[in-house]
Structure 1
Amino acid sequence: MKNKGNYFTYIFVCLAAIIAIYISIKVAAKEIFWIDAKLADLFTYVPDNLNPFFLLLTELGDKKGIGIVALVVLVWLLLIKRHFLGAAAIALSTALGNEVNKLLKDLIARQRPELEHLAQVDSLSFPSGHAMVGLTFYFFIAYLVIEGMESAAAKRMVVTVTVLLLLLIGASRVILQVHYPTDVIGGFAFGYIWVMMSIFIYTFFKNKLENNRK
């Protein structure tokens, strides 16, 4: 079962890499994506009175929101679980992922949509930092939570809630008119690659520490 899970992980990482590279090349070449127009049009049907809800959601992918959640998670990992490696891994992965996102933004240099921005922005557009860093952070939290679970149903619940949260954060960036849909898709692709690399490194050191204790 574990080998089957690893097999699917490799497939998803490869797909994420293909998506990330494909979108990055087209964005850098200033090409237009039909999916940007189609999805943006679809999101225009979201009622304006839901904007406060999406503003709240988008804060969960911002530095302030991630900082608050990170404080709670680090207290849980350090003081309750005494999981020092997990705390260090999630902090480093998120911080370095944020820096990688900045480098990608500067390298590709895509401007924000020429629309009224309904949320404050102060950086370039691709890839979405909320999507990339948010996926890295919340996916890693979900992984650490699931790691201590035995119930398959509970694991599925954690995965479902995490995926739903990330999709809503990603959608909020388009609904608030601060990102193109491909910014979010590319952000998720880069974020997935980054978090899986981080989890691989975390697992390596965890196994090494466990072997040293034997």
Structure 2
Amino acid sequence: MKKVQYVFASFAFILFLFIFTSVYQNGTVRGDGIFFSLFENMMFLKPFSIIGTELVIATISILLMLYLWFRKKDYIGILTVVVAVAGSNVINKLLKSTVERERPPFSHGEDGFSFPSGHAMVGLVFLLLLVYFISKEVQSTKVKLIFYGGGGLLALFTGMSRVVEKAHYFSDVLAGFLLGYAYFTLCIVLYETSNKILKKKSTVRPVGRTKNV
């Protein structure tokens, strides 16, 4: 992972903290209502909401772990999937119960609190993680960029579908994206660092004792 990604992740987390502080203290973010009007006619985004459901994320995450287990023998990768996907879900729920922001006053059929959006946060972590492990099998930088672009676009559509459905405020979705990206970066840093440590240990051979003559 490149240093520029660390910078973006740090900036994303700081910006998340600003939004979190505003919502926690004031219960709202200025301009949230405008986005309902802006996205009112983008009904094509609604079907993408299914990507962020727990059923879809859990099913594909399990398939990814099976692939890492049987095909790659990447046990640290399996642990990373669990920590990234399940961990982001736990963090999301803890934040919702802490902030206790009510959902937008529309008929959307959703229960629970609103901030931050789980579809945006967990969906982004899940999709970027999936793309990350897929792109490890690809040599071409251009193809990798296409994969990441496609994954990012799907994550964007998944998060914004919640604004179209009026189940979340725009700030809920934006905060989910920001924290999700920061958390994803942290998980990948830990994954790559762990692999480097194990690889270094495997290359170090113990020095045998010399026999006395």
The two structures share one fold, judged by TM-score above 0.5: yes
* The one of 178, 186, 195 aligned to 2:175: 186
Q: 1: distance between equivalents of 2:87 and 2:28?
A: 30
* The one of 121, 126, 150 aligned to 1:161: 150
Could you tell me how far 1:61 is from its partner in structure 2? 0.9
**Match of 1:60, SS?**
helix
Q: 1: distance between equivalents of 2:157 and 2:65?
A: 24
The answer to whether the Cα contact below 8 Å between 2:27 and 2:101 also exists between their aligned partners in 1 is no
Q: 2: distance between equivalents of 1:71 and 1:11?
A: 31
Q: 2: distance between equivalents of 1:121 and 1:80?
A: 39
Residue in 1 aligned with 2:209? none
Offset from partner CA, 1:91-146 (integer Å, 9 cap, x none): 222111111111111111110000110xx423210001111111111111222222
State whether structure 2 residue 65 is matched by structure 1 residue 69: no
* The one of 4, 7, 22 aligned to 1:11: 7
Could you tell me how far 1:31 is from its partner in structure 2? 5.1
Identity across matched positions, percent:
29
Q: 1: distance between equivalents of 2:104 and 2:20?
A: 16
State whether structure 2 residue 137 is matched by structure 1 residue 148: yes
Q: 2: distance between equivalents of 1:183 and 1:26?
A: 12
* The one of 100, 122, 125 aligned to 2:111: 122
State whether structure 2 residue 71 is matched by structure 1 residue 80: yes
Residue in 2 aligned with 1:20? 16
Could you tell me how far 1:153 is from its partner in structure 2? 1.2
Residue in 1 aligned with 2:46? 54
Q: 1: distance between equivalents of 2:150 and 2:67?
A: 19
* The one of 124, 139, 155 aligned to 1:135: 124
Residue in 1 aligned with 2:210? none
Q: 1: distance between equivalents of 2:23 and 2:13?
A: 15
Q: 1: distance between equivalents of 2:42 and 2:151?
A: 22
State whether structure 2 residue 86 is matched by structure 1 residue 90: no
The answer to whether the Cα contact below 8 Å between 1:35 and 1:182 also exists between their aligned partners in 2 is no
Q: 2: distance between equivalents of 1:60 and 1:71?
A: 15
Residue in 1 aligned with 2:208? none
Residue in 1 aligned with 2:211? none
Distance verdict in 2 for CA 1:156–1:80, change over 3 Å = same
Q: 1: distance between equivalents of 2:196 and 2:111?
A: 41
Q: 1: distance between equivalents of 2:57 and 2:105?
A: 27
Q: How many positions carry a matched residue from both structures?
A: 203
**Match of 1:173, SS?**
helix
Residue in 1 aligned with 2:201? 212
Which is higher, the Rg of structure 1 or of structure 2? Answer: 2
Residue in 2 aligned with 1:38? 34
